Structure 1
Amino acid sequence: MKFKKLIMTTVLAASQVAMVLPASAEEAVQNNPATEASVTDQAANQAGTVTGTEEVTGTETGTEVEAGTTDQAQDPVEGQTGQDDGGNAGTDQANQDTDDQENSGATDNSSTTPPAAESTSTSGTAGQLVLLMNSNKMYQDGKEYLAGHPMEVKDGVSYVSIRAIVERAGLQLSYDNATKETIIIRGTDELRFTMNTSSYKVNGVTTKMSGTSYSANNNFMVPLTAITKALNMPYTWDQVGKRVIVDVNTKPVASFSIGNTEVIAGETQVQYLTEATSPMGLPIVNEEWQGREEMFMTPGQYVVTYRVQDSNGQWSDPFSLTITVVKPHTPPVANFTTNKETYKMGEPITYTDFSTDEVGIKNRTWENQGQAFFTPGPVTIRLTVENVFGQTDTFEKTIMISNETLYTRDEFNKLFTPVGEKYVFNGTSVPSWERVNYTFTSDPTTLIRANSPETVYSKGILYQEEAIGDTRFLVHHVNATGQNVKMYVIATNENEATAHLTQTNLGFAGPNQYATGVGKASVQRYYESMQTGSKYKDIYIAPGESKIILNELSAISLKPGEVISLLADMNSDYTLKYEVIMIGEDQDPFATLPYLSVLPSDIHNRGTYSDATRHIEYGELIGDKPVRLLLGDNSSDPFLVGADGPTGDYKLNAGNFGVVYTIKLHRVAPNTLVTFNPRGGFYTGYIMVNGSIVPVANNSGLSAPNENSVLYRTGEREESLELLFTAAPGSNLSVNLLFQQMPEVKQP
């Protein structure tokens, strides 16, 4: 009994396999002459009952026309719901043919093929498979093939035999006995079909089909678009011929590009970057070039063509690219003149650059280009220019310096050093200059200075404070935690009413490893925000709400060793609690804040200070003799006194960093030179002079006490002068503003 049951089970399984993969799914018409293609097909058909491992190789690409997206009266591939008479007639006929076939269980190709389809059935081009509606006839490359069952329409959906598509499209076909799935493989794509289901798997993803699979005359029938859509095979519906034309092109695809930005005749080794793929996943075994040169010797347009061959022997369509070969570039020509050939010592020299290049000069490098010279004898000046192609040229000229003196070096510097540039002088004499005995008034601006610990070794709270009204933030820290971090300023409203916080001016710089450069840039941007108003912002904080403010600070992570610097002005109508924190770059600031502790301060300064905006007005004549206006010295300019927010400890704002000074000088003498001279050490920053932002000093800084940066020169009449200054973090105080008469202008 068990043996009989085993035999029945085996027979049943074999019949299911044969139904899914019939041995004679399609055959070439006998009248066709034997060709390589037909011999291969016949060999496959003679294999007998398929065991689930038979494969036929091929590949194609394309797109699907979904049901409802086209005129259904003309395209019955996905459904037939058109309203015109012709469309209904076609639908009725197709449905009737389908019904007849299903009822009879037989296929009569001659009676079901529409006459129009017969007359146009062989008009498909290379790479196309022509399927006739309600017929088992197919045409490919001028040959006729017979499917195991006609393409037919059921419930508005066109079905085809899996075997018919697979063998003609050259796909791999197999059967999984364990899962009872018919498998189609093309390259890396895998389709799995199960009998009597309305879904299938596309690369492991269950996907709905437009109809339900079924068996007809031992042929596994699936919606045509289940295959064309999954494998991206385009098709078209021929209304006149009642046929579907599927693009089953399996040729490899070749292309290439040029890796050189420019190809120069006789100079450039051309870099050919090829790309070749097979839709079937076959290896590329051969390539062919036309017009390729490793180096083109003559300028012009060259057409280069490339094609490849796969392991099946199929060649790709040729891919052509036009390569523009340009003539060799000529180097730039360096040239300049001076306004004279011979100069006195201290006489200004005017240089005129006449350098040229066919495209453009990228860099100019001068050697010994003095504004004047103070030693007699010949002087050679050189100019090297570089174009965008890296080619250079150098020109030099020798001028003579006579024994006569027009200006001494000090006189020349006072008269001709450009604004924002520096010169060297004897700064040791400056303390003997008379001080400007100014007085000042203050605005009730609260300064929150978070600058300690300046070098932060662990995550935590860097500062805490409460403030109302005008509030200025100065934040300057270095990340030494050994990991990427972010910094935040969080404002919390503990009042019963919504708080309005206004941001007016803001300058932020970093992250960067150079503290003085970051401090300098933050001040420059702070001044720029004053000029433009670009940082103005209204912020509303509800009762009990916390918000991140000064978002520039937290926009970018700080890497180990990097510095940030921020200077910003705010105003609030209610008292707000502010917390400056440093945490890991991936941590949530609000979730992390309750678990942070306040970090202890180091030797640098942190604290909360009142009256942090100072106004200096001076009405007496200034500049008719050497005088100095001293800032940040704790004498003429007393340091702010305050307290540490987290601990309440007494604090002194050494240097008055974060204090903004407005200086109004009502009477500046004619012919006055105004310069900036540091006294406490190295200094680099900016100062606003009559609304213009002036560097201190341009492209460098100043070393105390013998370097001086030019800020302004008055004209032939008495003038008023307005300056706005705040110390750049990372620099040193105190500083002097120097006022002195310029030398008399002489004629050469």
Structure 2
Amino acid sequence: MECMLRNFRKTLTTVALCGSALAAGLQAPLPVEAVSTAATQIQLFPGRADALVNGVPATLEEPAVVLQDSLFVPSRWLADQMGLQLSWNEATRKISLVTPKAYLEFDADHQTVSVNGEIIAFDEAASLRNDRLMVKLSWIAPFLNMTYTYDEASRSIAIRYIGQVSTAYKESALTADDAQPNSKPIAKFAFDKPVYRLGEPVHIVDLSYDPDAEGLPGYEWTGKEEAYFKPGTYTVTLKVKDGRGNESEPFSKTIQVTDSSYLTELEYPYYTNSVGSIFSYDAGVVSASVYGSEKKQTVPVLVRQPEDRTLLRGMRTSPVAAPGFLYEDTVSGSARLYTSYVNGMNSSSQLSIVIRNQDQSKPVQVTTTRKSISAPSVYNPVRAYKTLEDYMTAPASDEELTIQPGEAVIYAASPVLSPGQGVQSIYDIQTDGKIDVAYIMTPPGLQAYDLGKYKAIPQAVGDETGTFPVSEVSWEIDARELNNQLSLTIGDDQVEPKLTGTDKRNGQAAQHPGYAGVHYRIELKTKGKLAAALHPKGGFFQGTLRVNGQTLELPEAGLTPKEIVLLGRTENSQDTALVIELMATDRTKLPLELLVLPLADK
């Protein structure tokens, strides 16, 4: 025995150093909160059944014993002292032990031990003595957060067990197929302060975690709001799920909201939402703040509607059922050619733009300065905003085309359209003489000499074609003295004259839905902080928006009258303006409402 203890002592010294380092790491502060642990001190005397537990005498069911220079201790007694779960499974004839670091299974029949599913030889970790399972102390110590040392004077082994943290941690039920027990995740959070004002953003620090480090893909909040707009006490509850579907116990905290105002419901999204975000339009809240008599405010707005770029708009909401000319007119100088048609024939077709030089004595030069054309699609009317977006971001060009006196040429031709497919295009051109422009739908491969075969197509339901003298509109809004909410509308006569045009085919006023094809540039001048938003007051908006050169991503389905998009925000006094660019599709229902809100320092 003396020799065995000397050898055991040498082995113990090395293991104790490793165990101490491990214990030091395990005692590092947890990131969630301070937790309490219970340390257990055990003193064992090899070969004796008596022991001391926290200084109190105790009796072992089987004395600790040194076998092959290693100390073995009775597993049941050790588990009881440390509050661990040791159980016998009659069906599998295995003993399982749940430790802080591993799930262990001892199979004496097959002389194996499983550590989190990994198999090792039984005698590397355990031994049977008098029908009792004995475990090797040096092997099991790392799994138990345990350190131990040998005392020469008392010829005893002192064990220090750090214990398990006192938290809401609970093991899930084990099944026969588990290689390792899966722990319930812990839901936990904290507010950055206990009391908030009305409309003050509530900041929540998420302290939830999964003891098995499997991640937390599922969060279920109850009572959580970004801010509260009525005074009172609110309870917020959180439950989380780990990667295996185990659900935490609910965790709740209360928050107090005083009757002191920080932000109103109207103001809140203007201060806190990200640019380009969509938020709900509460007509009651907005009307009380913006349209109430005590809140009305006007500011200087300079509107320009120059008639220096003619818009030839060729559009039809119903499909084109026969080949022929859809629209034609004469332009000179700058023009915007805007088309949107759907092939309603039973065979493939092609939309072409034909230009004829009116002058019989000299050539005319046509320069394309910007363009965009969509790919054929059955969803073309729905995705028309993409063509506008491409047009707004397209670089300027200078493609030149010379047309001889009296000559007609195919200026542009769409890709081939299958039945039901549509196409949309925008071309900005500059000419040095008068030209006739015609939009024509024909079978694919139209040549100039074929033009005489086709006649004008009669007007049909959904025909939204015409010539408009204005295609560029600019606003300069002087908001430097703005001290209240401001509402301005596009598409009615509140701020600007309505845009009108003529249908060349019959000389009547042309419809102008959505001001499609018109480019708006709105400069909002300020000397302080403000936010601007767009609201489809008339019922619907689809199109493209750019603010200070950045395109905003809008929903494909467009905006409804119950929605607002935050256009932009000036953050400090050095920001002197917001520049908003806008183009709408023909699906847009005017008017559009521009909402501007001055922002206080918060």
* TM-score normalised over the length of structure 1: 0.46
Structure 2 residue 579 is the aligned partner of structure 1 residue 722 = yes
Task: Write the deviation string for residues 614-649 of structure 1: whole angstroms up to 9, x where unpaired.
Answer: 232234525421112211114432233332233333
- Report if the CA contact (8 A) 1:414-1:673 is conserved: yes
Deviation at 1:739, TM superposition (A): 0.6
3-state SS in 2 of match to 1:594: helix
- Report if the CA contact (8 A) 1:520-1:686 is conserved: yes
Matches of 2:518 and 2:486 in 1, distance apart?
23
Provide closer, same or farther for how the CA distance between residues 609 and 373 of structure 1 changes in structure 2, counting only shifts above 3 A: same
Aligned to 2:531: 673
Among 735, 739, 745, which residue is 2:592 paired with?
Answer: 735
- Report if the CA contact (8 A) 1:420-1:709 is conserved: yes
Deviation at 1:512, TM superposition (A): 3.3
Letter in 2 for 1:668: T
3-state SS in 1 of match to 2:332: strand
Deviation at 1:582, TM superposition (A): 1.7
Among 318, 332, 337, which residue is 1:473 paired with?
Answer: 337
Matches of 1:394 and 1:515 in 2, distance apart?
47
Matches of 2:348 and 2:200 in 1, distance apart?
54
Aligned to 2:408: 546
Deviation at 1:520, TM superposition (A): 1.5
Letter in 2 for 1:680: G
Aligned to 1:524: 389
What does 1:53-452 align with in structure 2 at a 5 Å threshold? 347-348=201-202, 372=226, 374=228, 376-380=234-238, 400=253, 402-404=255-257, 409-427=265-283, 429=287, 433-434=296-297, 436=299, 438-441=301-304, 442-452=306-316
Among 383, 392, 399, which residue is 1:537 paired with?
Answer: 399
Deviation at 1:685, TM superposition (A): 2.2
Task: Write the deviation string for residues 316-368 of structure 1: whole angstroms up to 9, x where unpaired.
Answer: xxxxxxxxxxxxxxxxxx9999786988686355799999xxxxx9xx99877
Could you list the runs of 5+ residues in structure 1 that have no partner in the other structure?
Answer: 1-333, 356-360, 386-391
3-state SS in 1 of match to 2:559: coil
- Report if the CA contact (8 A) 2:335-2:429 is conserved: yes
- Report if the CA contact (8 A) 1:623-1:669 is conserved: no
Letter in 1 for 2:387: S
Task: Write the deviation string for residues 403-456 of structure 1: whole angstroms up to 9, x where unpaired.
Answer: 436766544322222111111132351555545552323141111011136532
3-state SS in 1 of match to 2:386: helix
Letter in 2 for 1:402: I
Structure 2 residue 413 is the aligned partner of structure 1 residue 557 = no
User: Considering only CA atoms, is the larger Rg found in Structure 1 or Structure 2?
Assistant: 1
Matches of 2:319 and 2:207 in 1, distance apart?
48
Letter in 1 for 2:402: Y
Letter in 1 for 2:533: T
Matches of 1:693 and 1:353 in 2, distance apart?
37
Matches of 1:466 and 1:366 in 2, distance apart?
63
Matches of 2:488 and 2:191 in 1, distance apart?
41
- Report if the CA contact (8 A) 1:630-1:737 is conserved: yes
3-state SS in 1 of match to 2:480: strand
3-state SS in 1 of match to 2:440: strand
What does 1:584-595 align with in structure 2 at a 5 Å threshold? 584=443, 586-590=444-448, 592-595=450-453
3-state SS in 2 of match to 1:721: strand
Deviation at 1:675, TM superposition (A): 0.4
Could you list the runs of 5+ residues in structure 2 that have no partner in the other structure?
Answer: 1-184, 210-214
Letter in 2 for 1:637: E
Among 328, 343, 357, which residue is 1:493 paired with?
Answer: 357
What does 1:18-33 align with in structure 2 at a 5 Å threshold? none
Letter in 1 for 2:405: P
Structure 2 residue 430 is the aligned partner of structure 1 residue 571 = yes
Matches of 1:738 and 1:394 in 2, distance apart?
47
Task: Write the deviation string for residues 369-424 of structure 1: whole angstroms up to 9, x where unpaired.
Answer: 98826593334477999xxxxxx989989674624367665443222221111111
Matches of 2:363 and 2:441 in 1, distance apart?
27
- Report if the CA contact (8 A) 2:513-2:589 is conserved: no
Letter in 1 for 2:274: P
Letter in 2 for 1:418: S
Matches of 1:366 and 1:501 in 2, distance apart?
61
3-state SS in 2 of match to 1:640: coil
Letter in 2 for 1:557: L
Letter in 2 for 1:614: V
* TM-score normalised over the length of structure 2: 0.56
Provide closer, same or farther for how the CA distance between residues 699 and 642 of structure 1 changes in structure 2, counting only shifts above 3 A: closer
Among 532, 535, 545, which residue is 1:687 paired with?
Answer: 545
Deviation at 1:604, TM superposition (A): 4.0
3-state SS in 2 of match to 1:538: strand
- Report if the CA contact (8 A) 1:373-1:401 is conserved: no
Task: Write the deviation string for residues 539-577 of structure 1: whole angstroms up to 9, x where unpaired.
Answer: 2223343333345xx0242441x3433233111112122
Matches of 1:479 and 1:744 in 2, distance apart?
56
Where relative contact order (Cα < 8 A, 6+ residues apart) is larger, the structure is 2
Among 599, 604, 609, which residue is 2:468 paired with?
Answer: 609
Deviation at 1:659, TM superposition (A): 2.1
Structure 2 residue 506 is the aligned partner of structure 1 residue 647 = yes
Provide closer, same or farther for how the CA distance between residues 597 and 578 of structure 1 changes in structure 2, counting only shifts above 3 A: same
Output the aligned Cα RMSD: 4.0
Aligned to 1:220: none
Task: Write the deviation string for residues 693-723 of structure 1: whole angstroms up to 9, x where unpaired.
Answer: 224x35653211x321100111231622322
- Report if the CA contact (8 A) 2:299-2:478 is conserved: no
Task: Write the deviation string for residues 206-231 of structure 1: whole angstroms up to 9, x where unpaired.
Answer: xxxxxxxxxxxxxxxxxxxxxxxxxx
Letter in 2 for 1:540: T
Aligned to 1:630: 489
- Report if the CA contact (8 A) 2:319-2:342 is conserved: yes
- Report if the CA contact (8 A) 1:443-1:614 is conserved: no
Provide closer, same or farther for how the CA distance between residues 480 and 674 of structure 1 changes in structure 2, counting only shifts above 3 A: same
Matches of 2:351 and 2:241 in 1, distance apart?
47
Letter in 1 for 2:474: H
Provide closer, same or farther for how the CA distance between residues 378 and 338 of structure 1 changes in structure 2, counting only shifts above 3 A: closer
Among 503, 506, 509, which residue is 2:374 paired with?
Answer: 509
Deviation at 1:591, TM superposition (A): 5.3
Structure 2 residue 567 is the aligned partner of structure 1 residue 702 = no
- Report if the CA contact (8 A) 1:520-1:729 is conserved: no
Deviation at 1:672, TM superposition (A): 1.1
Among 440, 448, 456, which residue is 1:581 paired with?
Answer: 440
